Structure 1
Amino acid sequence: MYASLGDSLVTPGRQAGQDMQIFEIIEVLGDNGSPPYRVRAANGHESVVYPGPDTTVQHKS
């Protein structure tokens, strides 16, 4: 997985009826765009994540 500052991580809902989660990448902590990433959720909460296999990257345009 490769991501850069400003990209988004998208994780599908884990239970039926649960919406996907979208996080803005605000810092890349790994080498050459690899995880972990510091992300910000829509509610402003920040955390460091190691994305799972079902997470995708939406690259900024």
Structure 2
Amino acid sequence: MHAHAGDWLVVKGVRVDLPEQRGRIVSVGGPEGGPPFTVRWLADDHVSTIFPGPDALVLTEAELTEQDEHDRERFERLRALRHTGEGVRHA
């Protein structure tokens, strides 16, 4: 895993009731952009230094924006299906 200062660290929730956590990478400590990463977490502005696990992704600003747009479009499609009753299973 490699990063640059300014990239985003996204740690996926391991359960449905645990949302993903996002933080801006402030600095990288390893050679050639490897961990540990110093991250300022979006949720509480806390700064920590971590070695990300397999549930983490490093995304550029553009990649994060693209992912968010994809997620919004998916949500809207699902909402529209729910609203129209399409795709609803009846017992």
Residue 48 (structure 2) pairs with residue 36 (structure 1)? no
Structure of larger gyration radius: 2
Write out per-residue CA displacement over residues 19-57 of structure 1, whole angstroms, 9 at most, x where no aligned residue.
100011001111100000000012110000000012111
Give the number of the structure whose residues are more often helix, by fraction: 2
Which residue does the alignment assign to 2:80?
A: none
Residue 48 (structure 2) pairs with residue 59 (structure 1)? no
TM-score, length-scaled by structure 2: 0.63
Root-mean-square deviation (CA, aligned residues, Å) is 1.0
Segments of structure 2 that go 5 or more residues without pairing to the other structure are: 63-91
Segments of structure 1 that go 5 or more residues without pairing to the other structure are: none
Identity of aligned residues (%): 38
Q: Aligned partner of 2:39: which letter?
A: V
Give the number of the structure whose residues are more often strand, by fraction: 1
Higher relative contact order (CA 8 A, sep 6+): 1
Distance in 2, Cα, partners of 1:39 & 1:59: 14
Size of the alignment, in residue pairs?
61
